[in-house]
Amino acid sequence: MKRILTILAAVAVMAAACKPAKEEVKPGPSDEPTTVSNDPSTEPSDEPELIVYTFSQKKLDLVESVSATITLSGQKSGKDFKAQEDITIPFTVEGDAAVAVKSDAQAFVVKAGTNSATVVFTIDAEKAAELVSEQAVVKINRPDGILPGDIAQLRLKVHSGIQTPSKLVGKWVFEEIFDQETQELFAMEDGYDTDLFPFNNAGFSLIFSEDEETGEVTVTPSLEGDFAWYYRQATVTLTAPINLAGTGEVVGAFTSSEANMYVQEGGYSDPLIYTHYMLSWVNCKFDKTEEALGAGVIAVSWIDENTIIIIIKKYDLAPFLDQDGASVWYDGENFDSDILGFASLFKKVTEEE
């Protein structure tokens, strides 16, 4: 019996030795543990993104027509926001002058794939002529999910429409060139002889008259004053804006919004609305002795019914600017009217005065 047990033990040892070793199994990609995140930002949300609107400008001048634009941004996507579908944002126009404001739509419609919309506002000239106040406000009627941004509403300054040449009829007397001392100083610093400039205009006047049958308006200048070098008897018609001062902009077919730096020094800090008129005849040389007749352009802004500002917008290279050793102020026909427009104040008077 002892011998049999010994033989069985030996067999068991040999069987164990012959059995292949068990291979180590390494975990594959599908065997790796899964981590569950508790971060809510990684979980999809069914809530729509809140949208913020803002106007591109706080205020605009409405003389003939003007475009107003709103832009949308997302609370999460920011400026990269794009509408997934058309978004309609209605508005109202309120204020005393709202009666004279018309628009080509009743809402801003932001098209799918974009983030802005524009509405064109136009003026009802007949109603504008009767306005007591010039103020109107464009306000958004917010749909759900639309929030106001930096500029939540748009202010419109509604002007009394196009100032036709007949508005000028009457006698206008020169009062002053705005900030003339500074203009003279700049000229001297740049090597000019200021005695040659048209700075002496005491007694100068312009008389505008209208033909009762044709409606044609004519201007007749006086002979006193250096501005008589430029003006000639001429017909007056509306024309497109040219040679805007500084950051001026065109706001209508015949009108501009400009902040002439010398006019600002004279106390008119905000940009003014100017109507541009073509004069059929002026002395394009703007000189006392040399003459070259051609068309000229002036821009007029009404301060009130009896006060206007006139800026000369078009003339050729005048002798007072063509001085040896002086800086080049005149750079072709599109000159800087801030410097070369001789912005001046005129007052309306009666013949008795």
Alpha-carbon gap, residue 68 to 57, rounded angstroms:
8
The three-state secondary structure class of 131 is coil
Whole-angstrom CA distances from 53 to 70, 258, 297 are 6, 29, 41
User: Could you report the per-residue pLDDT of 259-292, keeping only the tens digit for each?
Assistant: 999 999 988 877 899 999 999 999 999 999 999 9
Structural domains of the chain, with CATH: 51-158 (2.60.40.2030), 165-349 (no CATH)
For 59, the token pair is 């205020």
pLDDT value for 4 = 44
Could you identify the residue written with the tokens 């007694």? 203
Report the run of H or E that residue 11 belongs to, with start and end. Answer: helix 2-18
The pLDDT tens digits along the chain (353 residues) read: 444 444 444 444 444 444 554 444 455 444 444 333 444 444 455 677 899 999 999 999 898 889 999 999 998 899 999 999 999 999 999 999 999 999 999 999 999 999 999 999 999 888 887 887 789 999 999 888 899 999 999 999 998 777 899 999 999 999 999 999 999 999 999 999 999 999 999 999 999 999 998 999 999 999 999 999 999 999 999 999 999 988 889 988 899 999 999 999 988 877 899 999 999 999 999 999 999 999 999 999 999 889 999 999 999 999 999 998 888 888 777 788 888 999 999 999 976 55
For 241, the token pair is 């804006």
- Give the CA radius of gyration of the chain: 38
> Which residues, other chains included, contact 206 with Cβ-Cβ below 8 Å and sequence gap of 6+?
171, 172, 219, 220, 221, 222, 231, 310, 346
**Nearest CA among 2, 49, 67, 42 for reference residue 250:** 67
User: Contact at 8 Å (CB) between 258 and 245?
Assistant: yes
pLDDT value for 175 = 97
Q: Please report the DSSP string for 70-138 in residue order.
A: EEEEETTTBTT---SS-EEEEEEEESTTGGGEEES-SEEEE-TT-SEEEEEEEE-HHHHTT-S--EEEE
Alpha-carbon gap, residue 81 to 152, rounded angstroms:
18
How many C-beta neighbours within 10 Å does residue 130 have? 10
User: Contact at 8 Å (CB) between 222 and 209?
Assistant: no
Alpha-carbon gap, residue 131 to 256, rounded angstroms:
21
Q: What is the DSSP letter of 284?
A: T
How many C-beta neighbours within 10 Å does residue 105 have? 14
pLDDT value for 11 = 45
